A = this chain, B = another copy of it.
Amino acid sequence: MQTRQWLLADHPRGRPLRDGDFTLVTRDLPEPGAGEMLLKVLWLGFDPAQKGWAENVADYVAPMALGDVMRGSGIARVEVSNGGRFPVGTLVAGLTGWTEWLVSDGAGFEVCHPGLPPTAMLSVLGTTGLTAWCGLFKLGEPRPGDTVLVSGAAGATGSVVGQLAKVAGARAVGIAGGAEKCRWLVEEAGYDAAIDYKADNLRARLKELAPGGVDVVFDNVGGKILNDMLAHIATGARVVICGGISRYETGTMPAGPENYFNLVFRRATMRGFIVLDWASEFPALRKRLAGLVNDGRLKFRIDEQTGFENTPRTLMRLFTGDNRGKQVLKIAD
């Protein structure tokens, strides 16, 4: 039996992704050994952190070598089991990598949450939703009445952060690029206000929307937007550094935030985190997130592209701002 796979062909360090960073190959797949299963990948999920993995800059996960199957999450169905962990037909989520089929003993995979579409495991119940939860509640610690400001707010993580802030009694202000995303933030994702950083003067709008400063900043972007947000923090603010998608878009490292010194004037805290540090809590957190979805208090949007041949291009959509909600790719039924 054979499978198609996308291999890492170049490290996209300090530059945008390009087609030549990945090579499509066809490879033989072994039969599942004792305790193993043959998994058919149905969806792939995409995350900005994947560019960091390919760059080999992020040293909190094992490095990626050229020629490796590109690392990534996916949803798969058990097609054959040779005494494996899950019965045939089970839908599981985990790090499938960019492959159509794989043989696995199931380690690191989890059964998809019942009652929600399987792609929820790639979004609101996956790293996306867990990152939003942990970053907001473990680092941001919003209190009722606080103003929570989110950059990249229309992204998969950002849209969950704003909704969770609302659940916790806070006010949510989102920053996104373009009128359509901003409309969606307010009309669908429940943000109290949205700022279009492409059309508005960000700092002037922040003064209008949060005259007393913002209590929690949740940054997915970095660069100039982070700097402008730091100019407008309230005393005692918590600045959560979640991502830095602007870091990926330029040939050189973007400037650091000049306004970091506002941390002193505002007695504020800026922290980073790696969500995997809380992996032991994921099953319990997933139940809470699923409960909020079922109660109608947490919506999520999936941007589903199709076709395994489009895998690298689908990752690139994250960096051009084309995606609307969590980016997934359907590659099989």
> Taking beta carbons and an 8 Å cutoff, which residues of A are in contact with B?
58-60, 222, 227, 241-244, 247, 253-274, 277
A-B CB proximity, top 9 nearest? A256-B256, A264-B272, A263-B272, A256-B257, A256-B258, A270-B270, A269-B271, A253-B258, A244-B261
B contact residues around A59 at 8 Å (CB): 265
CB closest residue in chain B, given A258: B256
The answer to whether B264 and A273 touch across the interface, beta carbons within 8 angstroms, is yes
B contact residues around A242 at 8 Å (CB): 264
The answer to whether A227 and B241 touch across the interface, beta carbons within 8 angstroms, is no
CB closest residue in chain B, given A271: B269
Extra 17 A-B pairs, beta carbons < 8 Å, given A256-B256, A260-B270, A265-B272: A59-B265, A60-B265, A241-B264, A243-B264, A247-B261, A253-B258, A256-B257, A260-B260, A262-B272, A263-B272, A264-B274, A266-B272, A267-B274, A269-B269, A269-B270, A269-B271, A270-B270
A114 to B268, CA, bound (A): 36
B contact residues around A227 at 8 Å (CB): 256
The answer to whether A222 and B267 touch across the interface, beta carbons within 8 angstroms, is no
A264 to B58, CA, bound (A): 10
The answer to whether B258 and A254 touch across the interface, beta carbons within 8 angstroms, is yes
B contact residues around A258 at 8 Å (CB): 253-256
Task: Determine how many copies of this chain the complex contains.
Answer: 2
A260 to B58, CA, bound (A): 14
The answer to whether A270 and B267 touch across the interface, beta carbons within 8 angstroms, is no
Shortest CB distance A261–B (Å): 5
The answer to whether A268 and B267 touch across the interface, beta carbons within 8 angstroms, is no
The answer to whether A260 and B257 touch across the interface, beta carbons within 8 angstroms, is yes
Among A227, A260, A269, A274, max chain B CB count under 10 A is at A260
B contact residues around A271 at 8 Å (CB): 263, 267-270
B contact residues around A256 at 8 Å (CB): 227, 255-260
A259 to B258, CA, bound (A): 12
B contact residues around A247 at 8 Å (CB): 261
A85 to B247, CA, bound (A): 59
CB closest residue in chain B, given A239: B270
Given known A-B contacts A265-B60, A269-B269, A241 and B222 have beta carbons under 8 A apart: no
Question: Which residue of B241, B267, B274, B277 is within 8 Å of A261 (Cβ)?
Answer: B241
A254 to B256, CA, bound (A): 10
A26 to B257, CA, bound (A): 44
Shortest CB distance A169–B (Å): 25
A277 to B58, CA, bound (A): 37
Sample (22) of A-B pairs whose CB atoms are under 8 Å apart: A58-B265, A227-B256, A241-B260, A241-B263, A241-B264, A244-B264, A247-B261, A255-B258, A256-B257, A256-B259, A256-B260, A257-B260, A260-B260, A262-B272, A263-B270, A264-B272, A264-B273, A264-B274, A267-B274, A267-B277, A269-B269, A270-B270
